[in-house]
Amino acid sequence: MQKMKSTSREETASTRLTAFQKFSNVAKRVTFGLLMISGFIVIILMGPLMLMLLALAIQVLCFSEILRIGYNSNKIPSSLPYFKRLSWYFLMVANYFFSVETLAPHFQDFHKKFFYLRILIDYHRFISFCIYFGVIVLFVLSLVRKYDLQQFKILAWTHTLLIIIVLQSYMIIDNIFDGLIWVILPSSLVILNDIFAYVFGRLWGRTPLIKLSPKKTWEGFIGGVVGTLISGFILSNVMCGLKYFVCPVGGGLRIDTECTLSYLFTPTTYSNGFFSIEFYPFTYHFLAMALFASIIAPFGGFCASGFKRAFKIKDFGDVIPGHGGIMDRFDCQFLMATFVNVYIFTFVRNPSVDLIFDKILYLDESSQVQFYHMLKDSLQARSLVNFTLVD
């Protein structure tokens, strides 16, 4: 009898301890989640440059976390420090290539003033090619017969990371130049979806959604979709009314708040004869982003869950208490940024007159004159301009 009472007390104590641990984990997750959101807001207010630096910092941290998993799973010994540095050389080459591809078109007036900088920019593809194959040569020289299979696996692992992480981080940076709304709103939609899915799943989750993530439920998934659409619509309308978010970012990384607003951010009245409604045309684009953020982007998280399960790890790291590593928080963000970049390029972005003009200035004088006559003939043929007096 006494043993039964003792066992009962131990079970009660164990239950209380488990409940306390669950509460502690939730409290820690919420606290650090709020801290991250607050920090994100501060960085937004500090301007485009800080957002770009944040994207680069996240890129390096995510690269480091996943690369470490590759080293551990392939059992790369510490006796090969020279080989281990090669992945970081590949990262630097990729950053040089993508940074010039993404940023140089917006800073042409600046780099024209500096001869050596212009060489690094104008010939960056050839320079990147040479450096890349220089690193390949170093890789071949670093091969050790006993570990060559693991070394080739890390080479493939590194190149996969360059595509998944580095390329997509520069898509985030590229989106910034079209206006902060194209970066902040998609990121916020992913965060909102994560919050609503977590809350609905904790409160009403009963039906499992996917085997890779047993804690994910249909109730949480649907609640995330509905919550993201409603809260995201309110947020997008607030942002559309603020020039800080909708004006494009200039070459000096400054936001011209005196810009002429795109029609997307000008309230428009729509009427069908029975009733009329006024909203921003940007709402159509918001719906596309919100649906992707709440339906497709979560599969980036599911894929990450499958990856962690395959390598028998709980999180990518332990940088953020209650959340895991940096990659645990940004697995869906990278997928979302890629979608937004492709979406803008396909449906939103128009050719920039300034960028085209700058490219024409790179031509020699005879080619510039040739371009002038070709443009003149085209405009005259369409009766857009009369050049009689000019000629």
Domain locations along the chain: 21-46+180-350, 48-178, 351-391
Count of CA atoms in the C-beta half-sphere (13 A) of 279: 14
User: Cβ(98)–Cβ(166) under 8 Å?
Assistant: yes
- DSSP single-letter state for residue 181: H
pTM for this structure? 0.84
Question: What's the confidence (pLDDT) of residue 389?
Answer: 46
What whole-number distance in Å separates Cα of residue 307 and Cα of residue 150? 19
Q: How many CA atoms lie less than 13 Å away from 119 in the CB half-sphere?
A: 3
Evaluate whether 86 touches 142 at the Cβ level (below 8 Å). Answer: yes
- Tens digit of pLDDT for each residue in 25-43? 777 777 888 888 899 899 9
Judged against a pLDDT cut of 50, whether residue 390 lies above it is answered with no
Q: Which tokens hold the place of 83?
A: 């080989």
According to the model, what pLDDT value does residue 324 have?
Answer: 78
pLDDT band at 12 (very low <50, low <70, confident <90, very high): low
Mean pLDDT over each residue of the chain, to the nearest integer: 85
**Mean pLDDT on 318-325:** 78
Distance CA 64, CA 158 (A): 10
- State pLDDT tens for residues 340-369: 999 999 998 776 676 677 677 777 788 888
Residue 96 has a pLDDT of 95
Overall average pLDDT of the 107-113 stretch = 64
Residue bearing the bigger pLDDT, 229 or 360: 229
pLDDT of 288 above 90: yes
